[in-house]
Amino acid sequence: MSDKTLINVREAVMEKFFLFCASTSILALLLICIFLFANGIPAIQEVGVRAFLLGTEWAPLRQYPATPQFGILPMIVGSIYFMIGAIIIGVPVGIFTAIFFAYMCPDKLYFFLKPVVNLLAGIPSVVYGFFGIVVIVPIVRVLAIQFTGHLPGGASGMSILSASILLGIMILPTIIAISESAIRAVPKNYYEGALALGASHTRSVFFVIVPAAKSGILASVILGIGRAIGETMAVVMVAGNHARMPIHALRGARSLTANIVMEMGYASGLHRETLIASAVVLFVFILLINLTFTFIARKSGM
Amino acid sequence: MSRTKISDTILASLTWIFAGFTIFVLMFIILYILVNGVPHLTPTLFEIRYTTDNVSMFPSIVSTIVMVFLTLTFAVPLGIFTGIYLVEYVKRGSKVVMVIRTAANLLAGIPSIVYGLFGLLFFVVFLGMSFSLLAGSLTLSIMILPLVIRTTEEALQSVPDGYREGAFALGAGKLRAVFRIVLPSAMPGIFAGVILAIGRIIGESAALIFTAGTIAQLPESLSNSVRTLTVHMWVLSGEALHTNEAYATGVVLLLVVFFINTVSAFLAKKIAKG
């Protein structure tokens, strides 16, 4: 065999090897789907789709003669409340901060502040959760005793509000980073045109630039929602985790993610399978969110 | 003042207020943990063995480092080779690229608890690895793979085509051009991605609880259950007795995050300069 063919063989082999490496992502995704769905779907069938998704009672360990209940609606509602709370707190702050960074911030301040905000993205969720326990929860506790003292159960301060505040802070870096790049991607002559027509700096930014960046900003919000829904540890640490329908913003609730991490350690049989099934629900939900994000991001040409 | 002027003032002040709020919250979190944690960083917290009396974080630090290296060993070559395939071997915009990139994007969006559950079902139970260093790092490898792929792709794409053409013109084969010319120029970008991946491994907890377990011990083999630093902090914060030690662990984690961010910012600057 000549040198030339040897090199050709080597090239061909390596190309196949690279292709093999590239297919591991697909393989991993397939494995995740197969293992989650194979373990989760039978449980949903056994409990019944309606009873599982719309059942308001989660009591997996109830003993005979009573029957165990596997309704995950309290956790779905809990997750949605946390998400809405996080949006209310995180989205306005995040978008305004992004506008600030892109158009209002003096250069010198920017070079100091930008790394600081990047730092926010790197802090582990357990550290956020711990901060929630020692700072946010005690503050909310005062409010909870004041306003929900008449409700049953203890007012510990571990509540929907605590989790919402914490999640609102945690989604800030995502919203700021993506919104900022969307705002910066708007051609500078939009801004100059608005100025030339007599609009002030603030007016040009808020009524010309920001509307032009709206799909990118929307994409950042959707990605932030994905983070809030998927967050586990920080939520478990501050949300109180009561597995019942949420009654008040100052009282506890449990998210889908918290339900899995709290009970998977000791669950067995159908209980275990329903937890996997709730991961399937979570997985599908996140998938829809990401597809929406991809769609919007593509539309806005990011 | 005209109505326009008033609304201008309101919008501008809102911007400053909200941006100020962001910075304030961040500074507050960091300072609060540092102020409360640094006094509790005692030498006993770094003793070799973890006992119920002295909840030393030393075994967790070692476990975290081993976990990082092991995970990178699996994920970085795979991620880089995937990036090379997507950028250098397939036509840009072809179906193969679309499918692989979509898979990687979907992987990137999956919450860590779902990875943890998958790791439990597949590595721990199905492959019989039990709670172990190996099961934990394999789970994390899948989790950081999309990040490594994406940063490799971006780094390779930023290498000018002239480099490749020059290499081919001098008679280099594809492999030679990629490994001798393109990859070395893309290295800072790839390295920045790896640094980010290290940050994610260190910060991860939900995916590790059901794959690597929570036993605080020095890892002696791949089949040992280990407790990384974030998991350690989570366990401590659940016990009212150990709040001070949890603060101290938080300080160590924050320092690591500072360090990682500084290195990646430095690399980013280097790439920007070219």
Alpha-carbon distance of A9 to A7, in angstroms, equals 5
Residue type, B236: L
Nearest CB to B107; choose among A25, A101, A265: A25
Whether residue A86 contacts residue A228, with contact meaning beta carbons closer than 8 Å, is answered with yes
Q: Binning pLDDT at 50, 70 and 90, where does residue A302 land?
A: low
Which site among A130, A131, A236, A276 would you substitute to test the B interface, given the most B Cβ atoms closer than 10 Å to its Cβ?
A: A130
Which helix or strand (DSSP H or E) is residue B36 part of?
A: helix B3-37
Look at A10 and B29 and tell me if their CB atoms are within 8 Å.
no
CA–centroid distance for A127 within its chain:
17
Sites in chain B below the pLDDT cut of 50? none
Q: What is the mean pLDDT of residues A138-153?
A: 81
Q: Binning pLDDT at 50, 70 and 90, where does residue A81 land?
A: very high
Which helix or strand (DSSP H or E) is residue B155 part of?
A: helix B133-157
| SS3 assignment, position A70 | strand
Which of B70, B79, B112 lies closest to A25 in space, CA to CA? B79
CA–centroid distance for B71 within its chain:
10
Whether residue B150 contacts residue B193, with contact meaning beta carbons closer than 8 Å, is answered with yes
Contacts of B77 (CB under 8 A, 6+ apart): A21
Nearest CB to B111; choose among A35, A275, A282: A282
Alpha-carbon distance of A99 to A115, in angstroms, equals 17
Look at A125 and B205 and tell me if their CB atoms are within 8 Å.
yes
Mean pLDDT for chain A overall: 89
Alpha-carbon distance of B62 to B224, in angstroms, equals 13
The first and second tokens of residue A74, run together, are 């309290």
Alpha-carbon distance of B104 to A290, in angstroms, equals 12
How many Å lie between the alpha carbon of B212 and the closest alpha carbon of chain A?
Answer: 13
Which of A177, A163, A263 lies closest to A216 in space, CA to CA? A177
Q: What does residue B98 show for φ and ψ, rounded to 5 degrees?
A: -55, -50
- Centre a 10 Å sphere on the Cβ of residue B271 and count the other Cβ atoms it contains: 17
Which site among B40, B205, B235 would you substitute to test the A interface, given the most A Cβ atoms closer than 10 Å to its Cβ?
A: B205
Alpha-carbon distance of B73 to B110, in angstroms, equals 22
Cα angle A280, A286, A291 (rounded to 5 degrees) comes to 125
Nearest CB to B85; choose among A19, A31, A119: A19
Alpha-carbon distance of A282 to A265, in angstroms, equals 19
Look at B107 and A279 and tell me if their CB atoms are within 8 Å.
no
Which of A39, A63, A297 lies closest to A182 in space, CA to CA? A297
Q: Which residues pair with B268 in a beta bridge?
A: none
| Class of residue A180 by CB neighbours under 10 A (exposed 0-12, middle 13-18, buried 19+) | buried
Alpha-carbon distance of B79 to B213, in angstroms, equals 26
DSSP secondary structure code for residue A253 in this structure: B
Which site among A6, A15, A18 would you substitute to test the B interface, given the most B Cβ atoms closer than 10 Å to its Cβ?
A: A18
Which of A127, A174, A156, A187 lies closest to A252 in space, CA to CA? A156
| SS3 assignment, position A59 | strand
Nearest CB to B250; choose among A18, A120, A127: A127
Look at A11 and B4 and tell me if their CB atoms are within 8 Å.
no
Question: Which residue in B has a C-alpha nearest to residue A131's C-alpha?
Answer: B29
Residue type, A189: N
Q: Which residues pair with A240 in a beta bridge?
A: A253
Q: What is the ipTM of this complex?
A: 0.90
Alpha-carbon distance of B243 to B227, in angstroms, equals 18
Whether residue A282 contacts residue A257, with contact meaning beta carbons closer than 8 Å, is answered with yes
Look at A22 and B82 and tell me if their CB atoms are within 8 Å.
yes
Nearest CB to B21; choose among A93, A276, A283: A93
As a whole number of Å, the CA-based R_g of chain B is 23
What torsion, rounded to 10 degrees, do the Cα atoms B177, B180, B182, B183 define? 130
Contacts of B13 (CB under 8 A, 6+ apart): none
Question: Which residue in B has a C-alpha nearest to residue A289's C-alpha?
Answer: B109
Alpha-carbon distance of B146 to B75, in angstroms, equals 9
SS3 letters for B62-110?
HHHHHHHHHHHHHHHHHHHHHHHHHHHHCCCCCHHHHHHHHHHHHHHHC
Whether residue A285 contacts residue A229, with contact meaning beta carbons closer than 8 Å, is answered with yes
Residues of B in contact with A4 (CB under 8 A): none
Tens of pLDDT, residue by residue over A230-246, are 999 999 999 988 888 88
Tens of pLDDT, residue by residue over B143-176, are 999 999 999 999 999 899 999 999 989 988 888 8
In this prediction, residue A238 carries a pLDDT of 92
Residues of A in contact with B23 (CB under 8 A): 113, 116-117
Alpha-carbon distance of A22 to B88, in angstroms, equals 12
In this prediction, residue A248 carries a pLDDT of 83
- Centre a 10 Å sphere on the Cβ of residue A115 and count the other Cβ atoms it contains: 14
Cis peptide before A187 (omega within 30 of 0): no
The first and second tokens of residue B39, run together, are 């006094």
pTM: 0.91
The first and second tokens of residue B13, run together, are 């002040």
Alpha-carbon distance of B194 to B75, in angstroms, equals 10
How are beta strands A58-59 and A69-70 bridged, if at all?
antiparallel
Alpha-carbon distance of A145 to A151, in angstroms, equals 10
Residues of B in contact with A17 (CB under 8 A): 81
The first and second tokens of residue B76, run together, are 């970085």
Alpha helices in chain A (DSSP H): 3-47, 49-54, 73-99, 107-122, 125-131, 137-148, 160-170, 172-185, 188-196, 201-204, 210-212, 214-230, 233-238, 256-263, 269-299
Alpha-carbon distance of B1 to A46, in angstroms, equals 68
Q: Binning pLDDT at 50, 70 and 90, where does residue A130 land?
A: very high
Max mean pLDDT range (A53-67, A168-182, B255-269): A168-182
The first and second tokens of residue B245, run together, are 């030690």
Look at B25 and A169 and tell me if their CB atoms are within 8 Å.
yes
Alpha-carbon distance of A216 to A253, in angstroms, equals 32
Look at A26 and B260 and tell me if their CB atoms are within 8 Å.
no
Residues of A in contact with B104 (CB under 8 A): 25
In this prediction, residue B90 carries a pLDDT of 86
Look at B110 and A31 and tell me if their CB atoms are within 8 Å.
no
